[in-house]
Structure 1
Amino acid sequence: MLSKRRWTTTGAGAAAAVLVLVTGWQASAADERTPERGLYQVRGADTAAARTDVDRAGVDVLGVRDGGMEVVASPEQAAGLRGQGLTLTLQGDWDALLAARGGGLSRTAAADFPAGDEGYHTYAEMVAALRETASAHPEIAAVSSIGSSHEGRDIPIIKISDNVASDEDEPEVLFTCNMHAREHLTTEMCLRIVERFTAGYGSDAGVTAAVDAKEIWVVPSQNPDGAEFDIAGGEYAGWRKNRQPNSDGSVGTDTNRNFDYKWGCCGGSSTSPSSETYRGPSAASAPEVRAVQDFVGSRVVGGTQQIKGHIDFHTFSELVLWPFGHTYDTVTDGMTAEEYARFESVGEEMAASNGYTGQQSSALYVTDGSISDWMWGEHKILSYCFEMYPAGGGIDGFYPPDEQIVPQTTRNDGAVDILIANAT
């Protein structure tokens, strides 16, 4: 139903081609010049505190796994990290890799993803897929909106329930995707959830039981402006933030540092508008963040929050993360030992189902103003961040070939079911 084109599950050839591209760049150019934006492998940041220091250096942290970090850094930033005793290995010129991954086309208006990745949904195709689903399953699916982006794009949400037109007294579950613009695989993850819980209703016993017992909400793109900018012209931009202008002439707020809980509290975001983790001038200053917060707030009925479980999907590193991100502590203001134990138990169960690694968010590095911290801190919603496929991969980490859409989204079916079962 939601497939744009025929999907296959054999992506090894395409992935290998990108790997050859990366290693080819290293062999021919890594020792000849230092790029303005280099892709580096960082070793030596073996603790959460050390990784937090790397993040605070202003680099763009792409992924963290097995003791290593992948970052994009300027020559000055790279030199500063080496001065801290860290080992940095240049993997390639980030801008050259982006251009090559997208086919090297000029950045003009584009109607689709770069050639070879057309299996991903553009914003227009995502909206059309949701409307098609609601039309095909009117008794259990309905599309509405949580608000608008900075550039005026609607942020659609789909509700899936056995009595979709009624606000039933049932636990609710929320799935959100595409917080960061370049993480397009996450939109496909949300569309997989939509397809599974509509097309499978009445024939799949587990799906039917979930839809009958819960109200399921799905937001496939929280950052439509950024996502569209990232693919404009058939060349990936590596764009992370939204498209809201800043006072210094730069563009973009990191919406996952802009939520109104412990905003800017703990050195887990940047005050610099040019930073990839810029937290914005004030909490919830990004319209996309306000839209999510307002929707979740609207689900407080009779003084009780109806949403009981939430996953926010990201890429990449293959991790299941739980709150809090703003502190290394497990038992702290807003989190009892019993509550943390529940987060850990459910998180580890989900990680066992999909082969990810489960851990507290701050075990990577400190973040503040994140959606999962806000979901729990403000509303006591059992909220997780999934970092999807791959475990690592530089440029290809954000842009896996579209042949990976099916295997990497279906890989999370079990985890989704576990979250729904625990949303009580």
Structure 2
Amino acid sequence: MRPRPRGVRTTVLAAALTLALAAPFAARAQDPPAGAADTGERPHQYEVSGLATPAARTALAATGASVDEVHGRTAVVTADRRQLALLRTLGHPVTRLPDPPGAAAAAPGATGFPAGYTKYHTYAQAMSAIDALVARYPSLLTKTVIGKSHEGRDLIALKLSGNAARDKTGPEVLFTAHQHAREHLTVEMALYLLTEFTGKYGTDPRITELLDSREIWVIPDLNPDGGAYDIASGAFRNWRKNRQPNAGSTAVGTDLNRNWEYEWGCCGGSSGSPSGETYRGPAAASSPEVRAVENFVRSRVVGGKQQITAAIDFHTYGELVLWPFGFTNDPTGPGMTRDDHDAFAAVGRKMAASNGYTPEQSSELYLTDGSIDDWLWGDQKIFAYTFEMYPSSSGAGGFYPKDTVIPRETARNREAVLQLLENADCMYRSIGKEGTYCTTR
């Protein structure tokens, strides 16, 4: 997830300090050699206090820990033992937080979601539910396998349209979910959208108009291997990355949302250590999951023009609406004009007003590089947002809210999704410049 805004924007000086701090951390964060024992230790969440500056908050990420939330002078991070040791060298008080209820030791032979979470869908259950929707609504919903995960699971893209068998000339919108394994609520968000749009086409005038004039793509699970691993023991493992091995190390996995090709590894916004929670991988798009989605998005370039105009990537947690860039603190950045930024912000703020989330530029408090939103905009000029869903804090459930919240917290984003779809034909309408940018579309 990304932090809640509780301070001034990170400055160029802070970014430089972060890079300076990251260098010694990277040198000291040694991974176990190949063949060494893998303890299988779960990472845990810790509260770090006394963070008075943006540079201090950014330095947390330089250890390889993931920054899960920020409130004032306090941050919550996920770290393993190596990252915890580095966190302690920063000199801030560090306190371990209680594990979520579902992280307790499972009963012998238990698998899947623990008690209190069984209404979440496993990968197999989600695929079964999707296949049932495709069979029930064949004119509205089609399924395409766009690649395989590292462990061989299908990565699928669902197309929603009033006549899904025919390509329309109208704008296309992309919704993606579950880049991070422990963020299971995002799969439920994708399933909600598929069910809502198929079930209410023909009866809800707003949904009917959108499906008749747009093509909606839903990629419901970018990280099925990591998601399966997180629940395989019948107790949550607090797992974030995919399950791709790393050469020369027993540390497993790449952080998919640091592996995208645009500005990959550029700016101190990811970890170069395979054991890091934000490990960016050995090369840009080195994970099969990221490659599959990048290739799918590129396939939507028709006649030299990208047909996808807008996107949301769903994450948990923090209740945020974020827009590019993450790799720089510049409110515009390379290839982004002031009008681009203003359109991003206007639509983002309006969506946030509808769901009660906090809107901000992704780099508001610390840098990330190699993220999907930066790639979608920087490489493909798609207006891409990240939604950090419920809850707002670790104390309210963190990455593992109970399954009773699923209906409420997925429906909470209905209006924001509809707004993005309605704006997708001309995002610049939000700043009164439709005539300047959209007359030829």
Q: Taking structure 1 as the reference length, what is the TM-score of the superposition?
A: 0.86
1:295-315 superposed Cα distances (whole Å, 9 cap, x missing partner): 000000000000011000000
Q: 1:414 to 1:65 in 2, by over 3 A?
A: farther
Q: 1:362 to 1:174 in 2, by over 3 A?
A: same
Q: What's the counterpart of residue 253 of structure 1?
A: 254
Q: Which of the numbers 76, 84, 89 marks the counterpart of 1:70?
A: 76
Q: Compute the displacement of 1:101 (Å).
A: 1.9
1:105-150 superposed Cα distances (whole Å, 9 cap, x missing partner): 168572x311221100110111111111111111111111111100
Identity, % of aligned positions: 52
SS at match of 1:235: coil
1:266 aligns with 2:267: yes
Q: What's the counterpart of residue 412 of structure 2?
A: 411
Q: What's the counterpart of residue 389 of structure 1?
A: 390
Does the CA contact (< 8 Å) of 1:257 and 1:370 recur in 2?
A: yes
- Greater alpha carbon shift after TM alignment, 318-327 vs 37-46: 37-46
Q: What's the counterpart of residue 120 of structure 1?
A: 120
For residues 167 and 410 of structure 1, what CA distance do their matches in structure 2 show? Answer: 28
Does the CA contact (< 8 Å) of 2:149 and 2:223 recur in 1?
A: yes
SS at match of 1:366: coil
For residues 305 and 387 of structure 1, what CA distance do their matches in structure 2 show? Answer: 26
1:269-299 superposed Cα distances (whole Å, 9 cap, x missing partner): 1110010110000000000000000000000
Q: Compute the displacement of 1:46 (Å).
A: 4.5
Q: What's the counterpart of residue 62 of structure 2?
A: 56
Q: Compute the displacement of 1:181 (Å).
A: 0.4
Q: Taking structure 2 as the reference length, what is the TM-score of the superposition?
A: 0.83
Does the CA contact (< 8 Å) of 2:79 and 2:277 recur in 1?
A: no
SS at match of 1:69: strand
Q: What's the counterpart of residue 5 of structure 1?
A: none
Q: 1:311 to 1:195 in 2, by over 3 A?
A: same
For residues 333 and 151 of structure 1, what CA distance do their matches in structure 2 show? Answer: 37
Aligned CA-pair RMSD: 2.0
SS at match of 2:278: coil
1:246-276 superposed Cα distances (whole Å, 9 cap, x missing partner): 0112210001000000000001011100101
* 1:152-167 alignment, distance < 5 Å: 152-167=152-167
For structure 1, the residue ranges without an aligned partner over 5 or more in a row are 1-34
Does the CA contact (< 8 Å) of 1:102 and 1:235 recur in 2?
A: yes
For residues 299 and 258 of structure 1, what CA distance do their matches in structure 2 show? Answer: 21
Does the CA contact (< 8 Å) of 1:350 and 1:414 recur in 2?
A: yes
Q: 1:292 to 1:77 in 2, by over 3 A?
A: closer
1:1-23 superposed Cα distances (whole Å, 9 cap, x missing partner): xxxxxxxxxxxxxxxxxxxxxxx
Matched residue count:
384
For residues 107 and 367 of structure 1, what CA distance do their matches in structure 2 show? Answer: 40
- Greater alpha carbon shift after TM alignment, 296-305 vs 162-171: 162-171
For residues 289 and 43 of structure 2, what CA distance do their matches in structure 1 show? Answer: 28
For structure 2, the residue ranges without an aligned partner over 5 or more in a row are 1-40, 426-441
Does the CA contact (< 8 Å) of 1:309 and 1:382 recur in 2?
A: yes
For residues 288 and 269 of structure 1, what CA distance do their matches in structure 2 show? Answer: 18
Which AA in structure 1 matches 2:199?
A
SS at match of 1:390: coil
* 1:351-370 alignment, distance < 5 Å: 351-370=352-371
1:208 aligns with 2:214: no
1:90 aligns with 2:91: no
For residues 412 and 183 of structure 1, what CA distance do their matches in structure 2 show? Answer: 16
Q: 1:304 to 1:78 in 2, by over 3 A?
A: same
For residues 157 and 137 of structure 2, what CA distance do their matches in structure 1 show? Answer: 15
Which AA in structure 2 matches 1:219?
I
Q: Compute the displacement of 1:57 (Å).
A: 1.7
1:401 aligns with 2:402: yes
Q: 1:125 to 1:74 in 2, by over 3 A?
A: closer
For residues 406 and 161 of structure 1, what CA distance do their matches in structure 2 show? Answer: 24
Q: What's the counterpart of residue 306 of structure 1?
A: 307
